[in-house]
Amino acid sequence: MSQALESVQQASLSTVYWIPIYTLLSGMASVFWSPAGFRRTGPRPAGYINIVTAGVGFVHSLLALTAIWGEPAQEISVNWLTVSDLQLILPLEYSSQTIGAISTITGLNILAQLYAVGYLEMDWGWARFYASISLFEAGMCALALFNSLFFSYVILEILTLGTYLLVGIWFNQSLVVTGARDAFLTKRVGDLILLMAVVALWPLAGTWHYGDLATWADQASVAPLTLTLLGLALMSGPLGKCAQFPLHLWLDEAMEGPLPASILRNAVVVGTGAWVLIKVQPVLALSPVASAAVVWVGATTAVGATLVAIAQIDLKRALSYSVSAYMGLVFIAVGTGHTDTALLLMFTYAVSMALLVMSTGTIIWSNITQDVTQMGGVWARRPISGLAFLVGAAGLVGLPPLGGFWALLRLLTDLWTDHPLLVGVVLLVNALTTLSLARLFGLVFMGQPHAMMARSPEVLWPMVVPMTVLSGVVLHVPMILNQASALPDWAMLEKPFVLLLLWSCLLGGGIGGVLYIGKLTPRPIRLFWPQLQKAFANDLYTAEIYRGTIILAVNQVSRLVNWFDRIFVDGAVNGVGLATLFGGQTLKYNNTGAGQFYLLSIVIGVTLLILALAYPLLS
């Protein structure tokens, strides 16, 4: 019996690369149920087949995970293309890390897709939704497997296109169209700068394989300026993907897309950039400037985005800024060289954030509004959603004994010796995030119900089941981490950090609770400095800054080029035609119609010809 199980495990390990393939195939199959394709029976089977394949993928990856657990990483490679002396090899890495990532992706994907069955009940566009989300699943699984910077870049670009399609599902809404546009362009800019780094790395290292890059980085002797520029370009791809300052506006606008997609995006998709950043960390570490830039970007985003999150009144946007903030913490971990901590943080963050988005989604589904100032008082009637929100919040921030606590504790321990200042940043972000989540909880679940929330039924089972299952997962994260031996030894526990984290949580949560659950302050709460409150509420006027700088410059330059093209380039060609036309129109007056004039021109012509012929003789 155990022998049979073992052979199944081995077989699933050797076929792990099937997972992206069959999620992709099921995504393609769902197109058959698009309204134009299947007019009679509606779109629901598109969702069902994608959930089944996501489930198969999840089981497959779990079996493969048990096979590779504790074993050394394996690698197989496929020759993608050989052109003269360039050989594009596609290496696949089977390690507990990559297959663990695939399990997380497929697992969260099943839950998000099942959630979408409930959430998109009244929607006709299942085919496009499930096709796009399966494209995402396939892309992310492939990203986890591919062990080459070049192919990671390929996947990142496909995912950028996927984001455009997924945010733009309901394209008859004008804000969706602008949001999808911004999401595509912002991420595209980062990806293109990443492409510069990818191309520049080839002559230096001669390889795109992550393992070989790390080996090369060990004894690389390259000019520091080259390495700095390379590191900065490598950073900017993930910077756009992870919605870090200053390329963060797209995530805010991407909240216009369907909520089940936001579950996946907030939890996992923004992590794709961080995954690449973690993989190229050895190259980043070559340049102190690039590493410092990663840390600075991360720290700025973490603090800035949490402050912006606190000032939001849109439930989805308040969470999306926390996404940027937590990705900022991942950037800090990578910038200081602690990639394992970054992976741990990404895992604990992904499950908690997915749970938070699911929980808030159930509120939005049955109460229509997303404005937190129009919510309140549903704790007694919506206990499951409320508990799920609390569990997600506790799992996200550093509240022991849940996952976020262990990840942040490890981050603090890592940072303490070399970067004591960053410890303060992490504690501040933790406190502010706790405050932000306590504010959301207070506004949504506590207090008096607003008219919009007067009747708020709990939602259907397809949304409740994934939410409760994920709550269970979040509660079990410490045990999963224990199994992966990612928890520190009890005796080695750094007690000051535990207390600091606990205190920062209690402080943030306490302030949030007093302000938003207590009845001491008037609503809506005004900050002592209204302009600052307005600035944070407007995301520090990022949209205006974009419009005033990059967009303005590109716009003016394109107008100028267009004008130059129309006037000078077109004008030159048209000028030739016009000159010919003018020549014809004016030279025709040579045909005077007077025979004597023709005779005169003959005589003049003959005379000139004779003179020309006789000129050598005369001189």
CA 580 to chain centre: 57
* In the complex, least distance from residue 568 CB atom to another protein, rounded to whole angstroms: 34
* In the complex, least distance from residue 597 CB atom to another protein, rounded to whole angstroms: 8
The H-or-E segment that residue 581 falls in is helix 570-587
For residue 248, the SS3 value is: coil
β-pairing verdict for 74-83 and 86-94: antiparallel
Nearer to another protein, 203 or 595 (CB): 595
* In the complex, least distance from residue 174 CB atom to another protein, rounded to whole angstroms: 59
* In the complex, least distance from residue 612 CB atom to another protein, rounded to whole angstroms: 19
CA 49 to chain centre: 26
Which residues is 93 bridged to in the sheet? Answer: 75
- The answer to whether the CB of 285 falls within 8 A of the CB of 291 is yes
* In the complex, least distance from residue 553 CB atom to another protein, rounded to whole angstroms: 54
Residues that contact another protein, how many (by CB under 8 A) = 12
Distance CA 191, CA 234 (A): 9
Nearer to another protein, 573 or 594 (CB): 594
Nearer to another protein, 225 or 606 (CB): 606
Closest by Cα among 491, 234, 232, 459 to 368: 459
Distance CA 344, CA 366 (A): 34
* In the complex, least distance from residue 548 CB atom to another protein, rounded to whole angstroms: 60
- The answer to whether the CB of 265 falls within 8 A of the CB of 254 is yes
Nearer to another protein, 495 or 588 (CB): 588
The DSSP call for residue 371 is B
Residue 479, interface with another protein (CB under 8 A)?
Answer: no
Which residues is 75 bridged to in the sheet? Answer: 93
Nearer to another protein, 595 or 616 (CB): 595
Residues 136-175 touching another protein, rule: CB under 8 A, are: none
Structure-derived torsion over alpha carbons of residues 577, 580, 581, 587, reported in degrees to the nearest 10: 180
Distance CA 255, CA 239 (A): 19
* In the complex, least distance from residue 602 CB atom to another protein, rounded to whole angstroms: 10
Count Cβ neighbours within 10 Å for each residue of 3-13 and write b for 16 or more, e otherwise. eeeeeebeebb
Cis amide prior to 401 (ω within 30 degrees): yes
Residues 564-603 touching another protein, rule: CB under 8 A, are: 588-589, 591-597, 599-600, 603
* In the complex, least distance from residue 615 CB atom to another protein, rounded to whole angstroms: 19
Nearer to another protein, 519 or 588 (CB): 588
Nearer to another protein, 490 or 589 (CB): 589
Nearer to another protein, 483 or 580 (CB): 580
Residues contributing to the site for another protein (CB under 8 A) = 588-589, 591-597, 599-600, 603
